[in-house]
Amino acid sequence: MAAPFRLLLVEDEAFIRELVVTLCGEKGVEVTAVADGRAALRAARESRFDLVLLDIVLPALDGITVCRLLKADAATRHVPVYMLSARVREADRDAASRAGADGYLEKPFRAAALHALLAKHRPPAAP
């Protein structure tokens, strides 16, 4: 049996955390959800993840800094990081890109967009 696809969700809004957990659960994705940047770094050091969804505006440590630290660490630099944010200015996208983000998912988002992102990074099922 293949290991489950694991997502680290870093989001300070409880409603969005619950929504993403529910939508990911529909696709059999195992989600670890944390509410701040420091907790995200701890989780990333303690467990293996296949994908990170990371808000920009977070308590304790902002998402751009978290992304930069994840991409600078040999243990986590290979993990795709997508910013999940309502901040849609070009400057925010540029800052995310400079920090090493692999993409951007705008809030509010559609379930189909999240499911497409999961499908893009999930390895194909074994025959």
Residuewise pLDDT in 10s, the chain (127 residues): 578 899 999 999 999 999 999 999 999 999 999 999 999 999 999 999 999 999 999 998 999 999 999 999 999 999 999 999 998 899 999 999 999 999 999 999 999 999 999 999 987 765 5
Q: Which domains does the chain possess?
A: 6-118 (3.40.50.2300)
Question: Looking at residue 124, what is its pLDDT?
Answer: 74
- What per-residue confidence (pLDDT) applies to 30? 96
Residue 3, pLDDT score: 81
Measuring CA to CA, how many Å separate 60 from each of 36, 71, 92? 6, 19, 19
Give the end-to-end CA distance of the chain in Å, rounded to a whole number: 11
